[in-house]
Amino acid sequence: MRAIANVHGQILPLEDVKISALDRGFLFGDSVYEVVRVYQGRPYLEEEHFQRLARSLEAIALGGVDLVRLRRRVHDTIAAGPFREAVLYVQITRGASMPRKHAFPKQAVPLELLWVEDYDDAPYEHLRRVGVGVVTYPDRRWHRCDIKSTNLLANVLANQAAHDAGCYEALLYLPDGTLTEASHSSFFWVKDGALGTTPSRDNILPGITRGLILGLAGRANVVVREGHLRRDDLRSVDELFLTGTTSEVLPVTHVDGQPVGSGRPGPITRRLQEVYAAKLREFLSASSY
């Protein structure tokens, strides 16, 4: 099925969407976005994603967006497919203005773009069983990574370095070696039976799946400890895994070519995969939607 877009309420094929060359999202990265997984025609963790979208809009002072109306458009576009297993992309820019200036234009109208496309989970299903390799890479992003903006060039370069090395992801580290997050994922580690995670500050994105896993850790009888892991500490952790909207809970078995723990997905990672799957089943079996 072709991807279907919705621009200001108009539903059309994604390939037919036309956006002004003067749009500030294109010119300046003056825009924010969200990616939502759709299971059986239903957007998962929709409320959490839209809450984060609202925070991002507020953080860059981008007003005039009716998020209630936008959510209706999301549901209309999913139903227009109709899409079952899919990915939803939402992007809000400050709009187009002339002449090109850095300061916020007074007359620009925000651009509200979303699209839905079919999603095949089979490749991720395989990776969740066997695990993936990652590389470490310098964190060269700006200092407001808590805003889900489209300023992603540093992320792109880091992820390309991972792909060039035959790996799935790049773990980002600061000049002192402190690990922050991955190029498009959150990460967790396991040491001495406890689950470790980087504190949610300006230098990491508050991942939606990350938040869900933190909330589910109690179900898995796993203790959570916030703290900082350094690059040199990676050799001493027992398990490592990534979380993300499409990757869900993804084991990491190798870092920079060296095995993590046994070199296979670990027992706590597996336990958290199970509670994630159970939570998703609860969502899909809920009678009201």
Annotated catalytic residues are 148
Helix (H, G, I), strand (E, B) or coil at 27: helix
Residue with tokens 């576009």: 77
SS in 3 state form for 144-171?
Answer: CCCCCECCCHHHHHHHHHHHHCCCCEEE
Longest CA pairwise span in the chain (Å): 58
Instruction: Write the DSSP string, 164-230.
Output: HTT-SEEEEE-TTSBEEEESSSEEEEEETTEEEE---STTS---HHHHHHHHHTTTTT-EEEE---B
Residue with tokens 């507020």: 58
Residue whose C-alpha is closest to residue 50's, from 63, 64, 31, 32: 32
Helices 67-80, 46-59: axis angle to 10 degrees equals 130
In angstroms, rounded to a whole number, what is the distance separating the alpha carbons of residues 277 and 282?
A: 9
In angstroms, rounded to a whole number, what is the distance separating the alpha carbons of residues 114 and 126?
A: 29
Instruction: Write the DSSP string, 255-276.
Output: ETTEESTTSS--HHHHHHHHHH
In angstroms, rounded to a whole number, what is the distance separating the alpha carbons of residues 274 and 234?
A: 25
Encoding tokens for residue 37?
Answer: 């997984």
- Alpha carbon distances (Å) from 33 to 10, 113, 220: 19, 9, 31
Instruction: Tell me if 213 sits within 8 A of 220, measured CB to CB.
Output: no
